Chains A and B, each alone.
Chain A
């Protein structure tokens, strides 16, 4: 299995939209 680890997730808003079965990424999420 491939892994998308936390180094690559840093600073993005990562959105787990479980109801719509989708995952989102928004840049500069911690600001």
Chain B
């Protein structure tokens, strides 16, 4: 591999380094005192880990596809969904309209926050693809088993309800007013998992001495997240009006935040708010607007493999835009872009045995018998020339040594 100022064309990595450790490697003391610890939901660093029953890789990928389908449905059919919801509301039925396609079902990273006064620690998923934060909440008509005791508003001295006519209630996308003047929300996800309850406010402790009074969130009284989730709730980080960054900005000014997702389930990353200086090696690209206003869009224009830019017309990427999402596991590319990436990757990996496909991942290899492997470098090129070089873990999805796959998939459709 070339070193120095030239970008690397190859990664030579130990096969064992690609596999997660079974022990948690604690992060060094964070220099950012306001930073929250971020861990993979199913790894040994997760407080949910002791419970076991993690999904298989194939199950994770199948749920990932549900999530991506739901993002596409949300973008393609938002107006139709709203019409359906309004029709139900007009009929004054008791049940609240289900909002399809709010994609929360496969977020994979969690952090711990304190909710209420005194603060109770809760393990919540972090998701840049959603807006309203929520936790399971007493009284609970139907709650799934979770890691920690349920959040109980009655035990918090700073809890209060959000009235129906309030500004906060109107900001909640999936809200409906009820006869009792309580602001209610109702979210149904792509896999039919759901949460509904009341919109409330309470103190949120992000880190020691970093409290956000009056944080608006969903108090979930009827929740079903499917067979694997033991999380206490989900925190939304997108651009919506009630997302956590928006509420932090309203309180402290500046809606910026940053995170690092750890490379392995056995390692830790962080989530930080506030105006800390970006690291000196950071490269920036423009945040652009897309069809879904609350999502974060980037202008992806090209891909490099082994230092060479693939021949993909920029218009291929531009058709649907590119969302950056912590809750999707696998990046999706337009078919022509994916085909070019796959071809270049396959050519570079000719020395290795192929392995069966893994769910939506169709390009897999068997590294059994190898202690080190040589894989091509890959980089994403954004408008303005910003080039982000992926490391080996960003190019591969490692199920087992005998089934390690190219960690990209096709959208299956050129026009969206």
Contacts and interface: CB of A to CB of B under 8 A. Distances in A.
| Chain A complexes with chain B | yes
Interface of A: 1-19, 21-31
Contacts of A6: 108-109, 261, 325-329
B287 A18 contact: yes
A27 B389 contact: yes
Contacts of B280: 26
Nearest to A29: B260
Contact of B249 (A11, A12, A18, A31): A18
B282 A25 contact: yes
Size range of the chain B interface in the assembly: 35 or more
Given A11-B262, A16-B256, A30-B263, A1 B108 contact: no
Contact of B331 (A8, A17, A25): A8
B260 A30 contact: yes
Nearest to B387: A25
B256 A4 contact: no
B283 A25 contact: yes
Interface of B: 27-28, 64, 68, 71-72, 75, 108-109, 128, 237, 239, 245, 249, 254-263, 267-270, 278-287, 290-292, 296, 298, 300, 317, 320-334, 337, 380, 386, 388-391, 393-395, 397, 407-408, 411, 416
A19 to B, nearest CB: 6
B332 A3 contact: yes
A16 B329 contact: no
A1 B72 contact: yes
